[in-house]
């Protein structure tokens, strides 16, 4: 069990500088007698604050909205406390404040993971393999932009639906430059690479589990057909403008 005796949140106000009619609202976190304070970036007139309750007075729309916000802050702080309690033996006020602001390792983002993977795998993976990861990264960024209307996401927000929505995005996405959409096996390869990146985040203790553990990869087996005599003759008589294709032809048909 966590080694703490008390946890409380108190909302209070302070005057700032020359302000005489306006009070600024703070939250004070107390754990086992140790305190940390958070500025909520909200203000209220002197006559509308109830000091004994730590709430806005009355039922006017502005008071109701402010009190609803204070409730949200309280529940978020309570959730931060619960998260830390589940992984730590000792809880104090400062780590709760840090987590509230999203500045601890528990709030690592997808882009941070992609950057870490690229910087640490460039000397491990072959260039061709790394290039494939860059392509998967491009698709992930496009998915965030076009389907989730954001540029980044907290790793903790990645769930099973994120994975299945990303799968459908890969199957249907069409870039501005005309090209074929991803086939089934191409889609599965991108998802495989994404799974490996999430496994890296688990090793870094940025995530607890990989949601791909419940995902069923469905690769299609392609039976390759032998070339007919006519096809071989056509291939033999063809001169490719692409030097790489011509080189491959020369290897197999010297």
> Are the C-beta atoms of residues 25 and 47 closer than 8 Å to each other?
no
Residue 224: pLDDT above 60? yes
Residue 122 pLDDT: 83
Residue 138: pLDDT above 80? yes
Overall average pLDDT of the 184-208 stretch: 90
User: Cα 4 from chain centroid?
Assistant: 31
Residue 204: pLDDT above 70? yes
* pTM of structure: 0.52
Residue 81 pLDDT: 86
The tokens for 214 are 């419940």
From 185, 198, 191, select the one nearest 215 (Cα to Cα).
191
Class of domain 108-214: mainly alpha
DSSP 13: E
Overall average pLDDT of the 118-136 stretch: 89
Selected residue with higher pLDDT from 55 and 4? 55
Residue 1 pLDDT: 43
Question: What are the C-alpha distances in Å from 126 to residues 123, 132, 167, 240?
Answer: 8, 10, 25, 28
Least-confidence region, from 26-30, 41-45, 99-103: 99-103
Residue 2 pLDDT: 47
> Are the C-beta atoms of residues 229 and 201 closer than 8 Å to each other?
no
The SS3 of residue 10 is: strand
- d(CA 49, CA 45) in angstroms, rounded, equals 7
Residue 169: pLDDT above 90? yes
> Are the C-beta atoms of residues 93 and 35 closer than 8 Å to each other?
yes
User: Cα 83 from chain centroid?
Assistant: 18
pLDDT band at residue 231, thresholds of 50, 70 and 90? Answer: confident
Backbone dihedral angles phi then psi of residue 10, each to the nearest 5 degrees: -125, 130
% of the chain beyond a pLDDT of 70: 89
The tokens for 94 are 């400062």
Rg (CA), the chain: 28
> Are the C-beta atoms of residues 77 and 96 closer than 8 Å to each other?
yes
Give me the chain's average pLDDT, please. Answer: 85
Domain boundaries, the chain: 7-104, 108-214, 226-254
User: Cα 236 from chain centroid?
Assistant: 51
pLDDT band at residue 140, thresholds of 50, 70 and 90? Answer: very high
Residue 101 pLDDT: 80
Overall average pLDDT of the 232-240 stretch: 79
The tokens for 219 are 């690769």
Residue 191: pLDDT above 80? yes
Greatest alpha-carbon pair distance for the chain in Å reads 94
pLDDT tens digits for 44-102?
999 999 999 999 999 999 999 999 999 999 999 998 888 777 665 467 888 888 878 87
């Amino acid at each position: 069990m966590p080694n703490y005796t008390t946890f409380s949140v108190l909302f209070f106000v302070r005057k700032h500088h020359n302000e005489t009619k306006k009070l600024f609202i703070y939250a004070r976190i107390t754990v086992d007698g140790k305190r940390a304070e958070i500025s909520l970036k909200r203000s209220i007139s002197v006559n509308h604050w109830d000091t004994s309750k730590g709430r806005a007075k009355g039922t006017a729309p502005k008071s109701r909205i402010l009190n609803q916000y204070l409730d949200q802050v309280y529940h978020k702080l309570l959730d931060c406390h619960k998260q830390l309690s589940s992984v730590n033996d000792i809880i104090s006020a400062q780590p709760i404040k840090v987590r509230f602001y999203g500045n601890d390792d528990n709030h690592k983002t997808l882009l941070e993971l992609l950057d870490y993977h690229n910087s640490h795998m460039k000397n491990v993976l072959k260039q061709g393999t790394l290039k494939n990861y860059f392509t998967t990264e491009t698709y992930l960024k496009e998915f965030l932009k076009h389907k989730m209307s954001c540029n980044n996401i907290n790793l903790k927000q990645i769930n099973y639906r994120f994975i299945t929505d990303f799968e459908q995005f890969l199957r249907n996405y069409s870039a501005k430059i005309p090209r074929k959409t991803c086939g089934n096996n191409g889609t599965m390869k991108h998802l495989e690479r994404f799974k490996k990146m999430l496994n890296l985040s688990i090793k870094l203790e940025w995530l607890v589990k990989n949601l791909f553990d419940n995902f069923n990869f469905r690769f299609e087996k392609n039976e390759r057909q032998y070339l007919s005599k006519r096809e071989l003759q056509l291939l033999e008589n063809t001169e490719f403008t692409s030097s790489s294709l011509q080189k491959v032809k020369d290897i197999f048909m010297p």
